[in-house]
């Protein structure tokens, strides 16, 4: 995998700031999120995957997968732009066979500082270098080096996860790959009453990952998000291709599943989904162009074959049929989940109500893909490998 960019391109000046939008009680949610995908030599159609989340929320209390988190003190911002915040570090690790979930679920105070802060070693330029540093005994940090040349990630798994066979230490370095997927994309939108979102994304990077001293190479995805709105059901997914191409889809929707109050899949009422806005993008390295799709359709189905894969709770893992298109091009994709990581959120709201969100992440195996633009047709046979991950969330968190 050749590297063309020498550093990450884009405006990273707000990377370590969480005060871009005024907070809204119970709705504001901030996180840095990294997904790493490493080709599995024992099963080339799949990838080992690591997800790490550094997160905080403006709420009196929220239950995260059975753990009650009560932030207590609010986020503090000093005159140099440094943040001290109550938060959690969460992670899962899929080793190609077993899902270690949670790998980490740790409540802690965190400091987020840019390289212009007096606590940063050396003189900075305020162009992106900095870090979020959980105040824990082990190094659990995420940071960007001077010159925006790379990200580092350090992680130590929880003792409970290690007692079940999970690795202890993870170290990762994300570096630029090529062109648009390794250039920062920025989205900011305010709907009304201060509700909206602010998102920074790097869609595809190269990655070196060291797991308990064993070195691996793969790809990475990074995003830093502010969300200030109720969380409704959605589908999202992404694919990394061996040549550096990147494809994703996103379909928020209205569904009877918004009334769900637990993590149980395959409910009888999960038969209706009305798309609101469906989008997608394909950064096509072979064709040398980017396709922005303004239409998206996602169909979820339960595999019926005898060897259907199941999650850690015995539930059949889903298959996704996805189509994204515009006037000139389309991509039709069939993928199946090979494992499942789930995060269950319950947040008390007004009048003694408790709102709920089940957020699922699925490492994927690509079964087929057809890209069409005019007379050009491309399929899975045109790539050495394609690896990805899909999300499906239900409930409404407010």
Task: State pLDDT tens for residues 68-95.
Answer: 988 877 888 899 889 999 999 999 999 9
pLDDT of residue 267: 66
Side-chain-facing half-sphere of 16: CA atoms under 13 Å:
30
**CA 337/CA 235 separation, integer angstroms:** 13
Q: Tokens 């996860």 map to which residue?
A: 161
Going residue by residue through the chain (398 aa), what tens digit of pLDDT does each one get? 454 568 999 999 999 999 887 777 777 789 999 999 999 999 999 999 999 999 998 888 888 999 998 887 788 889 988 999 999 999 999 999 999 999 999 999 999 999 999 999 888 888 999 999 999 999 999 999 999 999 999 999 999 999 999 999 999 999 999 999 999 999 877 765 666 778 999 999 999 999 999 999 999 999 999 888 777 788 999 999 999 999 999 998 776 665 666 777 866 556 666 666 789 999 999 999 999 999 999 999 999 988 899 999 999 999 999 999 999 999 999 999 999 999 998 888 766 678 888 999 999 999 999 999 998 999 999 999 999 999 998 887 76
**CA 347/CA 344 separation, integer angstroms:** 10
pLDDT of residue 60: 86
Q: What share of the chain is helix, strand, coil (3-state, %, to 5)?
A: 5, 55, 40
Q: Which domains are present in the chain?
A: 1-229 (no CATH), 230-398 (2.40.370)
**CA 258/CA 395 separation, integer angstroms:** 4
**pTM for this structure?**
0.95
pLDDT of residue 185: 95
HEC string of 197-250 equals EEEEEEEEEEEEEEECCEEEEEEEEEEEEEEECCECCEEEEEEEECCCCEEEEE
**CA 292/CA 250 separation, integer angstroms:** 12
pLDDT of residue 351: 63
- Residue 380, classed as helix, strand or coil, is helix
The torsion angles phi and psi of 36, rounded to 5 degrees, stand at -115, 135
Report the DSSP beta bridge partners of residue 109.
86
pLDDT of residue 190: 74
Residue 319 in contact with residue 334, Cβ under 8 Å? yes
pLDDT of residue 3: 46
**CA 344/CA 32 separation, integer angstroms:** 18
**CA 325/CA 103 separation, integer angstroms:** 37
Residue 39 in contact with residue 242, Cβ under 8 Å? no
CA distances to 101, 236, 241, 272, 276 from 297, rounded to whole Å, are 29, 11, 21, 13, 11
Residue 223 in contact with residue 202, Cβ under 8 Å? yes
pLDDT of residue 260: 65
Report the largest interatomic distance among the alpha carbons of the chain, rounded to a whole angstrom: 61
């Amino acid at each position: 995998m050749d590297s063309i960019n020498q550093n990450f391109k884009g405006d990273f000046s707000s990377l370590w700031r969480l005060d871009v939008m005024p907070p809204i009680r119970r709705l504001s949610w901030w996180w840095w999120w990294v997904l790493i995908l490493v080709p599995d030599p024992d099963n080339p159609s799949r990838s080992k995957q690591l997800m790490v989340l550094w997160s905080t929320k403006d709420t009196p209390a929220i239950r995260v997968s059975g753990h009650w988190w009560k932030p207590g003190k609010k986020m503090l911002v000093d005159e140099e732009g440094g943040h001290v915040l109550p938060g959690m570090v969460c992670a899962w690790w899929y080793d190609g066979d077993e899902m270690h979930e949670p790998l980490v679920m740790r409540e802690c105070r965190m400091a987020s500082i840019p390289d212009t802060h007096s606590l940063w070693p050396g003189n900075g330029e305020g162009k992106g270098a900095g870090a979020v540093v959980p105040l824990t005994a082990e190094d659990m940090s995420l940071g960007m080096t001077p010159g925006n040349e790379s990200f580092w990630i350090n992680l130590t798994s929880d003792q409970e996860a290690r007692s079940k066979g999970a690795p202890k230490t993870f170290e990762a370095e994300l570096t630029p790959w090529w062109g648009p997927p390794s250039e920062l994309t920025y989205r900011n939108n305010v709907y009304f009453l201060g509700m909206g979102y602010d998102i920074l994304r790097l869609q595809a990077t190269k990655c070196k990952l060291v797991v308990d001293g064993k070195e691996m190479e793969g790809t990475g995805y990074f995003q830093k998000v502010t969300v200030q709105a109720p969380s409704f059901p959605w589908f999202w997914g992404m694919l990394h291709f061996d040549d550096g191409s990147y494809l994703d889809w996103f379909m928020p929707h209205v569904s009877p599943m918004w009334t769900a109050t637990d993590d149980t899949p395959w409910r009888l009422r999960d038969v209706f989904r009305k798309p609101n806005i469906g989008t997608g993008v394909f950064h096509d390295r072979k064709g040398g162009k980017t396709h922005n799709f303004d239409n998206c359709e996602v169909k979820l189905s339960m595999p019926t074959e005898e060897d259907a894969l199941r999650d850690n709770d015995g539930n059949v893992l889903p298959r996704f049929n996805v189509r994204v298109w515009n006037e000139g091009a389309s991509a039709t994709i069939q993928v199946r989940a090979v494992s499942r990581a789930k995060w269950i959120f319950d947040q008390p709201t007004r009048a003694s109500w408790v709102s709920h969100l089940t957020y699922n992440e699925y490492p994927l195996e690509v079964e087929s893909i057809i890209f069409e633009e005019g007379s050009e047709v491309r399929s899975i046979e045109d790539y050495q490998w394609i690896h990805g991950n899909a999300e499906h969330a239900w409930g409404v968190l407010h």
